[in-house]
Structure 1
Amino acid sequence: MPNLLSEYNLHTQAKLGAMAARNVVFPAAYPRQRFCESLQIDLNFATILPQGNYKEITYSALSRAEVRARFGIPDAAFLVLGVGFADVRKGFDLFLQISRYFIKSRDDVYFLWVGEIQPLLRAHLNIEIQTAQASGRFFRVGFNDDVEKYYSASDVYALTSREDPYPTVAMEAIACGVPVIAFDKSGGTPDMLRKYAAGLSAEYGNVEDFRDKLLSVLHHPTLAVDRPRLVTLASALFSFAHYAQDLLWLAQPGLKAVSVCVVNYNYARYLQQRLDSVFAQSYPVAEVLFFDDGSNDESRTLAATIAKTYDRKLQIMANLQNAAQVFAQWENAVTAARGEYIWIAEADDDCDPQFLSRVIAAMEGADDVTLGFSDSQMIDDTGALIAPNYQSHYREAGASMLGNSGVWPASEFTKQCLSVQNLIYNVSAVVWRRDALLAALRRCGDSLRDWAVAGDWRLYLEILTHEKGRVAYVAEPLNRHRRHKDSIVGRAIAQQHIDEIQKMHEILAEKCGLDAAERANQQNYLRSVQNLLSVSKTENKHHLRASHKIKPVIARKPKV
């Protein structure tokens, strides 16, 4: 704004910065207009992006009653609020002048200013301030970070600023359901008030018009009815998360919106490590959603506490009872998510801070990539390392291609890495294209409920045989796959495990047109699993591995 630029002698710096920038962001059209006029430049590439309300404050009836009782303000009276560093630009002298009129003309209007006063201005206005305070209807509170309660206690916000580009105080007032009165041409707020009927604007510098506009809204029934609408409006207009995401997209136009869906059932003991790894990602995420399938431990409370510690927003969605339908939970997650990419992060797993950055870079490095994944470390219940990667398993399976990062056509990847066994060992290592995953879940529908072990394998196949896209792979073990003692091998459902592998082989043969040699490879793998699971039950694994040299099947978490 012109006066701010002049006051701090910023014309030269502002012009150089604006001309050098790829994009200049303004909160509203009017500040952009005045900025360009002041510097005599034309910014055709400027972006209008209203700033978010970073405090995300909300209305509290309890706070309203508490503050009004503290100052002795009757319920039937009106409280007019001002917030900020009281100086000439903020129009504190005008606020004081308006209060003087109402103190003389009405006995039901009170005024409160929250914030320190500029020392020189205080000296000039000291007598007027003391006179107003002596009336018992004008109050002042010094700097206070807990302003939410004062907004809740107020009925109208008086934005008396002579110049204010797009003040946060106006957004905070509306977030608490309080209409705003402002001077026209003082910044971007008046246009916003007109557009959304969130208050009124008075003629610039006309105190009489300002007090008339203020007087016109002093009607409790109307204010009470309008409060919920303003709260809802602020939630939609002033989301700080959306604002920050928009700024990131402007700074990095190629940035993709990623939704992280943490799926959980009774994994409270692993949530600190899991959410630490999510919040530590170097790639910005658009949202983090937490889906709990009726846990009977402290999962939900702990997840909320961890998110609060990080000052991160975590949307928690929970079933009251365990539904034991993991793919229905996945579909709920994918439906609720709004990102272009989705990462289903199982609550017991962990990962490197570079996981998303590396996998998404691989996906963005080629056209038509449907999903991407990384290699994984194997860890046990306690987090101790079992194996540094899955490379020995890949070699044993004949998938030497996974020794290095790469991108392959879906058909080639399916034949090499899915036709005999599922070499995407852990879903937490996968980043999906959201639309492809949602479409696959819906095509499979209720049939996924029948899969207890190999449902993820079935889903990979559905996507890769339908989308005809590509698969991206990062050979670094950026994911950490937790293998539990109570995994499939030890849970007395060995026959179901075998049956599902056999069922997958039949589906693969039909969808991929496997030849006789490929079908023989399937049979060899199925026999090895049958032998392994049979010996597992008799606790003779060492004898089997020595005599048949069978690579242990990767124990999968049951999808129930």
Structure 2
Amino acid sequence: RRGLQSEADAARVEPAELVHDMGPVAPAPRRKIIVVVHDLQRHGAQYLSLNFVSTLHSVFGYEVVTIACGEGGLAGRFSAYGKLIDATPGRVSAGQLREAIAALAADGYTKAVVNSSASGWMASHLADAGIDCIGLVHELPEIVEAMQLDEGLRSLDRHAKAVVFASSTIRDRTAKEVLGHDWSQSLIQPQGLYKRDGIVTLAEKAPARQRLCKELGLPATARFVVGVGYGDRRKGVDIFCRWAIAAAVADPRLHFVWVGALCPEMEDVCGDILRDAGAAGSNVHLVGFRNDTGLFYAAASAFALTSREDPYPSTAIEALDAGTPVFMVAGTGGIADLADTGAVTVLSDEASYRFVSVLMKLLGDGDALVRAGEAGLEVARSRFGFRSFVGDMLRLLDEPVPKVSVIVPNYNYAHHLPQRITSILGQSLPVWEIIFLDDKSSDDSLAVAQKLLHNCSIRYRIIENAQNSGSVFAQWQKGVDLAEGDVIWIAEADDWANRDFLATAAAALAASMNTLPNASGVLFRREALHHVLTRHMDEIRSYRVAGDWCVYALLGLTGKFAYDPRPMNYHRRHAESVTISRFTKAEWDEIRGMQAFVAELAEVSEDMRDRAAWYLDHLSKRL
């Protein structure tokens, strides 16, 4: 830790020895990984792969090789992040492919991610070269059958360390209808949202709606339902048009906007539907492909997911990230798994009257619409961080990427939050989730935190206490109870960290139990910290300035500590801090009592006792 303080404050140091700045952490060699994609066309799964590759390279620091099983317009984009190997059947022979993969293995590429069933056939070639792989399966049985991908799925089932599905629907249906048995090693993990273009608060939706009204030349009273994607039969753009006509008849203020090009077949089908609809047809707007989809999501009151088959479309999550509730038909895809959140409505069938009935009920209840929008924002932020997803995939390959939950306890530190949160988001070893706990601040901490975390690619939650807890340690325990990671970093809101802090501390943690010293400079194993906080909270809360020492002392009974003297966490000393704001005999008595407590728990040398006594005498001069 490096304390930043004035000369006047220099005497008010905590009991830690000064160390020389040992310089930056030496850069570790880049680890190596392979990503297999079925082709390089400009479609959803390929963009997922591209963002996966870019995140591995630019965020996690990997040297990435992409193996493409087909050509396409994204070749240049993939090549920007590392070597691109062509494995197109018919262009590259089986012998050439085996030779290329063997060369990669010899060069230290021993792990691979195979994205999609269409790339699954590569799993056997990787296994032959001794390369471990995981598979990501997005396709439902209808697509598997139409594209003859069943052998790819069987290859993944035989050779992959794990096969990852966005939802249980995809896993269960492919197991039953394609494999004929359960998957050998399966995991449910939605893929994360790589395109973040959401809103900060629901207050942004009304201005977005007015902008879209102006763009489309509609009255300010218009309300929007949107659909997004390439409009083919699978996406159900014809269903979208039928829903739109029925809704417009029920309420002429409703306008339906489809964002995306239509295939020739659907141009004809939808054209016939709209011509037969009479005046209601003018309430349907087919605007074609647009890059600025964020405007449409934000302006919409609802998102119509009309796909006949869509395993886990990112467009639905993008809608939730804009506070827009989703409507879909049962049995068409995995987004139905989110129905229990209140942000997704699942209809029993595609009947237009059923959709209109449920839609009108929601739009007619302002409070319910707000609740659904807030639920969507919470789901998108807390479950769909793309960096978090990439870290999950690396852990499946036994890569050294700890699952770190960062807890940020805050009370009236809005002015310190930009530096605090930026230093968390900028860690060279990405964190898995951020839990921001506000203890009923009277400043604008909540708004500042939301603005800073907005559209970050890490899972996060912002939680405000209904009333002040009166104890930072109560916030610690609340955060640990909420955390889903294996490792806890309590990043105090008024501190900040070097970008290599987490990488350095995590390396020490891999061999030891916990790291020390001050709270922001410590990584804890979640189970150990949860055990201590749960069993000893009353004792810990009895201290005003020494509660963290109490935690460390009790943790010392559970295992070892690791300590790295390099100054990588920055502890801010200021007038509002607990340690500096008041120091009376009560605080002095706490420290003396803590010294006695530690002496009871462990053998303390005479030299250490003398130094502790000197410190007490030093502090007494402040009284």
TM-score, L = length of structure 1: 0.62
Distance change (3 Å), C-alpha of 1:472 and 1:242: farther
Per-residue Cα deviation, 1:125-145 (whole angstroms, up to 9, x for no partner)? 686488469753322223345
Instruction: Tell me if structure 1 keeps the 8 A contact 2:492–2:520.
Output: yes
Instruction: Tell me if structure 2 keeps the 8 A contact 1:30–1:187.
Output: yes
SS in 1 for 2:560: strand
Residue of structure 1 equivalent to 2:346: 199
The 2-side partners of 1:138 and 1:488 are apart by 60
The 2-side partners of 1:192 and 1:328 are apart by 31
Letter in 2 for 1:140: L
- In the alignment, does 2:609 pair up with 1:503? no
Deviates more, 1:310-319 or 1:344-353: 310-319
Residue of structure 2 equivalent to 1:540: none
Instruction: Tell me if structure 2 keeps the 8 A contact 1:258–1:341.
Output: yes
The 2-side partners of 1:324 and 1:459 are apart by 18
Shift of 1:444: 1.2
Letter in 2 for 1:436: H
SS in 2 for 1:198: strand
Shift of 1:328: 5.6
Distance change (3 Å), C-alpha of 1:276 and 1:231: closer
SS in 2 for 1:180: strand
Distance change (3 Å), C-alpha of 1:89 and 1:353: same
Per-residue Cα deviation, 1:331-383 (whole angstroms, up to 9, x for no partner)? 565566554432223445444444334434544546xx3x333xxxxxxxxxx
The one of 110, 117, 122 aligned to 2:261: 117
- In the alignment, does 2:208 pair up with 1:46? no
Instruction: Tell me if structure 2 keeps the 8 A contact 1:427–1:456.
Output: yes
Identity of aligned pairs, percent?
Answer: 28
- In the alignment, does 2:179 pair up with 1:89? no
The one of 436, 453, 471 aligned to 2:560: 471
Distance change (3 Å), C-alpha of 1:509 and 1:274: same
The 2-side partners of 1:270 and 1:109 are apart by 46
Residue of structure 1 equivalent to 2:133: none
SS in 1 for 2:542: helix
Question: For this pair of structures, how many residues does the alignment match?
Answer: 464
Shift of 1:200: 1.5
Distance change (3 Å), C-alpha of 1:97 and 1:21: same
Letter in 2 for 1:359: A
Residue of structure 2 equivalent to 1:384: none
Residue of structure 2 equivalent to 1:213: 354
Deviates more, 1:493-502 or 1:283-292: 493-502
Residue of structure 2 equivalent to 1:20: 159
Residue of structure 1 equivalent to 2:170: 31
Matches within 5 A, 1:255-404: 257-263=403-409, 271-290=417-436, 303-308=449-454, 315=461, 327=473, 330=476, 333-334=479-480, 337=483, 339-347=485-493, 349-365=495-511, 369=513, 371-373=514-516
Distance change (3 Å), C-alpha of 1:40 and 1:93: same
Letter in 2 for 1:503: G
The one of 377, 383, 388 aligned to 1:241: 383
The one of 548, 551, 571 aligned to 1:456: 548
Instruction: Tell me if structure 1 keeps the 8 A contact 2:163–2:185.
Output: yes
Shift of 1:470: 0.9
Letter in 1 for 2:327: V
Deviates more, 1:319-328 or 1:115-124: 319-328
Per-residue Cα deviation, 1:420-457 (whole angstroms, up to 9, x for no partner)? xxxx4x333322333134236513154202x4xx4433
Letter in 1 for 2:395: Q
The 2-side partners of 1:170 and 1:481 are apart by 40
Shift of 1:90: 1.8
Residue of structure 1 equivalent to 2:531: 436
Instruction: Tell me if structure 2 keeps the 8 A contact 1:193–1:200.
Output: no
Shift of 1:269: 7.2
Letter in 2 for 1:199: V
Letter in 2 for 1:82: G
Instruction: Tell me if structure 1 keeps the 8 A contact 2:311–2:333.
Output: yes
Shift of 1:115: 1.7
Taking only aligned residues, the RMSD between alpha carbons, in angstroms, comes to 5.2
Distance change (3 Å), C-alpha of 1:498 and 1:524: farther
Per-residue Cα deviation, 1:384-438 (whole angstroms, up to 9, x for no partner)? xxxxxxxxxxxxxxxxxxxxxxxxxxxxxxxxxxxxxxxx4x3333223331342
Per-residue Cα deviation, 1:10-30 (whole angstroms, up to 9, x for no partner)? 666565455432222223344
Letter in 1 for 2:487: Y
Letter in 2 for 1:241: R
The one of 286, 291, 298 aligned to 1:140: 286
The 2-side partners of 1:110 and 1:294 are apart by 40
Letter in 1 for 2:596: E
Shift of 1:86: 1.5
Instruction: Tell me if structure 1 keeps the 8 A contact 2:241–2:270.
Output: no
The 2-side partners of 1:524 and 1:165 are apart by 67
Which protein shows a greater Rg? 1
SS in 2 for 1:356: helix
Letter in 2 for 1:258: V
Distance change (3 Å), C-alpha of 1:480 and 1:195: closer
Distance change (3 Å), C-alpha of 1:444 and 1:222: same
Gaps of 5+ in 1: 203-208, 374-423, 538-557
SS in 1 for 2:489: strand
Residue of structure 1 equivalent to 2:85: none
The one of 611, 618, 622 aligned to 1:525: 611
Distance change (3 Å), C-alpha of 1:18 and 1:227: farther
Per-residue Cα deviation, 1:235-254 (whole angstroms, up to 9, x for no partner)? 67655536755774464157
